[in-house]
């Protein structure tokens, strides 16, 4: 090849490379190219803008590290992706915060798609989808409403409720779907829910939201008179022209349509897990936690009631990973998730919100009540070693508890208080639970998460 042709080819390659770089920097979405371990090779300004709030020290060097506290499953998903190339995740929603004033200046929800280019490189695409998520939430409600109208109605129960949500009268559809007799008349509609699946306050909340929106629909486990459970879609709507001032206060004010959709449960559960579950532990993910927490605190502002939050960490988790590898750490987190679900109520929202950090929202629970349950969990964890590869991994947890106790608190304040109590538990020796007090609001020196043991 002549020198002139070589120079021309080199110039063409340089021009293509420059065009690629310009595309990377001017693309309307965030683009990040990384090594297999997450080390960032190239990043455009939009990605830097979206990710920098997660790295207060400005040390934005590794994508997995930057997202560890908000998308802890990402590193695990990449490690489990064994194909030489392909899509690791497409449109994974990452919730950054709980929707506070800060969130109005920065995105609440990021969408992440991650493509494995080859054995050595990944390409990430990031975008702010906060508004889209809010719209999708409303569309899901509309879709569920249409599904309830258009599918078979041979498996429904039609229940009339009074203004307090009590069953007004019995009919054959109630008996057919739930097995309840006429004795159900006069009891709250929570009789159709499993134990600990709904609080007294939430019974009233759903009636209020039906009044505001014209209807309210939710899906989940329901309970028959014999104690057996089934999967159901339930919709409550106010009866037209009902006025409790003039009408019989014990007469029908709402209509509850309860449909047995057990045959669709597997598909519904699969969709729910894909959207709202942490892939490693099976508990709720950050997205589900923040949506549930915001809704509960909105209800709290309308009708004050106690609400508690528990934040907890696995103690010395880095030591576990260093000694047993990430598979050992994953086994610990999975077992901790199982113990959390077994300890807290069905109505409580148990979520993994960081690498080894979990959060539990307890509706209608005081700080003392949350403390008692958290202490029960602490004892359970300390007493049950995790079996891994023929050995035993000892584990303890530290937790912080904060509660609104009827006071109007936003989610950021409640989480900040629980976090201060969690750090107090660590500072006081770990393997303990601390409740927030005003004294903890003063700045304290945070102990290192995994201090290096002194050399003898």
Structure tokens at 423: 């750090």
Is the backbone of residue 430 left (phi > 0), alpha (psi -120 to 50) or beta?
left
- Degrees (nearest 5) of the Cα angle 53, 57, 63? 60
Domain with CATH 3.30.450.20 in the chain: 5-133, 142-266
Q: How far is CA 352 from CA 156, 291, 336, 343, in A?
A: 36, 14, 10, 15
CB 31 within 8 A of CB 125: yes
Domain 5-133 has CATH 3.30.1330.10: no
User: Which residue's structure tokens are 């030591």?
Assistant: 319
Q: What is the mean pLDDT of residues 244-263?
A: 76
Please count the other Cβ atoms lying within 10 Å of the Cβ belonging to residue 411.
Answer: 21
- Between 16 and 58, whose confidence is greater? 58
- Between 316 and 70, whose confidence is greater? 316
pLDDT at 456: 36
- Between 152 and 19, whose confidence is greater? 19
Q: Report DSSP letters for 195-221, one per residue.
A: TTSS-HHHHHHHHHHHHHHS-EEEEEE
What Rg do the C-alpha atoms of the chain give, in angstroms? Answer: 26
Is the pLDDT assigned to residue 430 strictly greater than 90? Answer: yes
CB 219 within 8 A of CB 193: no
pLDDT at 149: 47
pLDDT at 45: 84
Three-state DSSP at 110 gives strand
What pLDDT digit, counting tens, does each position of 366-406 carry? 999 999 999 999 999 999 999 998 889 999 999 999 998 66
Q: What percent of the chain has pLDDT over 90?
A: 40
Q: What percent of the chain has pLDDT over 70?
A: 79
- Between 54 and 56, whose confidence is greater? 54
pLDDT at 248: 62
User: Which residue's structure tokens are 């079996």?
Assistant: 387
Domain with CATH 3.30.70.270 in the chain: 277-441
- Catalytic machinery residues: 356
pTM of the model: 0.66
Q: What is the mean pLDDT of residues 160-179?
A: 93
Is the pLDDT assigned to residue 454 strictly greater than 50? Answer: no
pLDDT at 104: 38
What CATH number labels 277-441? Answer: 3.30.70.270
Give the separation between CA 277 and CA 334, rounded to whole angstroms: 13
What pLDDT digit, counting tens, does each position of 70-122 carry? 888 788 888 888 889 889 888 888 877 643 333 334 457 888 889 999 999 99
Q: Which residues of 294-319 are buried (b: 16+ CB within 10 A; e: fewer)?
A: bebbebbeeeebbbbbbbbbbbbbbe
What pLDDT digit, counting tens, does each position of 145-158 carry? 555 444 444 578 99
What average pLDDT does the chain have?
82
Give Cβ neighbours of residue 89 (< 8 Å, ≥ 6 apart): 74, 77, 112, 113, 114
Q: What is the mean pLDDT of residues 42-50?
A: 85
pLDDT at 331: 93
CATH classification of 142-266, choosing from 3.30.450.20, 3.90.1640.10, 3.30.200.20, 3.40.600.10?
Answer: 3.30.450.20
Is the backbone of residue 444 left (phi > 0), alpha (psi -120 to 50) or beta?
beta
Query: How far is C-alpha 212 from the geometric centre of its chain's CA atoms?
Result: 26
Pick from 222-236, 242-256, 300-314, 408-422: least confident:
242-256
CB 335 within 8 A of CB 386: yes
Q: Which residues pair with 352 in a beta bridge?
A: 358
> 184 falls in which pLDDT band (50, 70, 90)?
very high
Give the separation between CA 374 and CA 310, rounded to whole angstroms: 7
> 421 falls in which pLDDT band (50, 70, 90)?
very high
């Amino acid at each position: 090849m002549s020198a002139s042709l070589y120079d021309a080819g080199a110039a063409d390659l340089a021009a293509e490379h420059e065009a690629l770089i310009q595309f990377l920097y001017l693309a309307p979405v965030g683009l990040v190219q990384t090594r297999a371990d997450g080390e960032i090779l190239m990043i455009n300004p939009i990605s830097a803008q979206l990710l920098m709030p997660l790295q207060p020290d400005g040390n934005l060097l590794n994508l997995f590290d930057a997202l560890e506290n908000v998308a802890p499953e990402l590193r695990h998903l990449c490690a489990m992706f064994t194909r030489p190339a392909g899509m690791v995740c497409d449109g994974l929603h990452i919730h950054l915060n709980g929707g506070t004033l800060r969130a109005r200046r920065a995105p609440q929800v990021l969408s992440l798609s991650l493509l494995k280019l080859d054995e050595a490189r990944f390409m990430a695409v990031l975008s702010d989808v906060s508004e889209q998520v809010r719209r999708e939430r409303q569309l899901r409600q509309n879709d569920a409403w249409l599904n309830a109208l258009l599918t078979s109605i041979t498996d429904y129960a039609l229940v009339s409720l009074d203004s307090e949500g009590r069953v007004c009268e019995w009919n054959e559809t109630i008996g057919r779907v739930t097995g309840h007799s006429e004795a159900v008349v006069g009891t709250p509609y929570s009789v159709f829910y499993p134990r600990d699946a709904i609080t007294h306050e939430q019974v009233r909340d759903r009636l209020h939201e039906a009044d505001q929106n014209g209807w309210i629909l939710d899906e989940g486990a329901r309970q028959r008179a014999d104690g057996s459970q089934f999967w159901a879609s339930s919709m409550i709507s106010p009866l037209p022209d009902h006025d409790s001032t003039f009408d019989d206060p014990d007469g029908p004010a709402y209509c509850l349509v309860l449909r047995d959709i057990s045959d669709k449960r597997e598909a519904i559960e699969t969709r729910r897990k894909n959207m709202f579950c942490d892939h490693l532990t099976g508990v709720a993910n950050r997205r589900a936690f923040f949506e549930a927490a915001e809704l509960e605190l909105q209800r709290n502002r309308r009708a004050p009631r106690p609400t508690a939050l528990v934040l907890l960490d696995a103690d010395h988790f880095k030591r576990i990973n260093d000694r047993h590898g990430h598979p050992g750490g994953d086994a610990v987190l999975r077992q901790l998730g199982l113990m959390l679900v077994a300890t807290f109520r069905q109505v409580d929202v148990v979520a993994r919100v960081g690498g080894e950090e979990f959060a539990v929202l307890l509706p209608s629970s005081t700080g003392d009540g949350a403390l008692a349950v958290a202490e029960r969990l602490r004892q359970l964890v300390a007493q049950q070693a995790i079996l891994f590869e023929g050995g035993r991994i000892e584990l303890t947890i530290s937790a912080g508890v904060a509660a609104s106790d009827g006071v109007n608190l936003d989610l950021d304040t409640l989480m900040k208080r629980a976090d201060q109590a969690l750090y107090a538990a660590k500072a006081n020796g770990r393997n303990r639970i601390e409740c927030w007090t005003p004294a903890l609001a003063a700045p304290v020196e945070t102990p290192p998460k995994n201090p290096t043991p002194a050399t003898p």
